[in-house]
């Protein structure tokens, strides 16, 4: 590690000690990642998630660390969770698209790359690795052909008072897996819910990108096994 990198880590560490509730932990964890100090980076993220449990940039750094450690399934789990909750997060989308292309998961890579193209992101060039549309490729995973289509996201739409978006997503999931009783039951439940009961609960907030509930397990709990190397 260069002296400049070490100085940057020391500076960020001092800032975090002076401002323990700030988001500087993300920059510090990323600096540790770049220096190959993955265990320390995981430890910093674990502590940071106690204060900022749903901080998306921190989760992207967590995904990067796992990817560079060779823990590809853990990296994919984190990044898929980020893009499911925030489809406009291009950092997570580009990392996940690269991971899918490298692993030959072209069905899951395609919708990510299409979103990167719409945003004029440099990683849209990954399209060159995709087979032509219509060419037979591997079947979609259990998550569906689009990694943004996930039962958890449908639940968030319903809880946030957007039943029409939840129904549309459940229908797409049902078309991917017609034998899924989960999708059928969810569609029936939304249809039975009175309109007056579909307003967002107090613990759910929305932004322009869509639902972003603040309730539910924090990343520290969801990703507990991701921090084992940090002790």
User: Is the per-residue pLDDT at 21 higher than 90?
Assistant: yes
Strands 204-207 and 210-213: antiparallel
User: Is the per-residue pLDDT at 113 higher than 60?
Assistant: yes
User: Is the per-residue pLDDT at 173 higher than 60?
Assistant: yes
Q: What DSSP state is assigned to residue 2?
A: -
Q: pTM to 2 decimals?
A: 0.64
CA distance 192 to 198: 11
Identify the pLDDT of residue 127.
92
Query: pLDDT, tens digit, for every residue of 116-167?
Result: 999 999 999 999 998 886 554 444 444 444 445 556 666 666 666 667 767 7
The alpha-helical segments, DSSP class H, found in the chain are 3-18, 24-34, 38-51, 56-69, 72-85, 90-102, 106-118, 151-159, 163-176, 181-192, 219-222
């Amino acid at each position: 590690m260069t002296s400049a990198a070490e100085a940057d880590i020391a500076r960020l560490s001092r800032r975090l000690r002076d401002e323990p509730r700030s988001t500087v932990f993300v920059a510090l964890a990323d600096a540790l990642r770049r220096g190959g100090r993955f265990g320390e980076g995981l430890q910093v993220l674990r502590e940071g998630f106690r204060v900022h449990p749903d901080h998306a940039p921190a989760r992207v750094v967590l995904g990067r660390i796992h990817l560079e450690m060779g823990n590809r399934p853990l990296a994919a789990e984190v990044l898929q969770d980020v893009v499911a909750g925030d489809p406009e997060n291009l950092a997570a989308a580009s990392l996940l698209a690269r991971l899918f292309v490298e692993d030959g998961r072209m069905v899951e890579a395609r919708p990510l790359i299409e979103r990167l193209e719409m945003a004029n992101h440099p990683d849209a060039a990954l399209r060159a690795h995709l087979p032509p549309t219509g060419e037979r490729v591997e079947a979609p995973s259990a998550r569906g052909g689009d990694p943004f289509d996930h039962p958890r996201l449908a639940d968030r739409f319903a809880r946030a008072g957007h039943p029409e978006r939840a129904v549309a997503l459940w229908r797409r999931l049902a078309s991917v897996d017609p034998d899924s009783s989960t999708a059928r039951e969810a569609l029936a439940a939304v249809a039975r819910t009175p309109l007056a009961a579909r307003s967002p609960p107090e613990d759910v907030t929305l932004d322009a990108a869509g639902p972003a509930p603040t309730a539910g397990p924090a990343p520290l709990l969801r990703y507990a096994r991701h921090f084992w190397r940090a002790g």
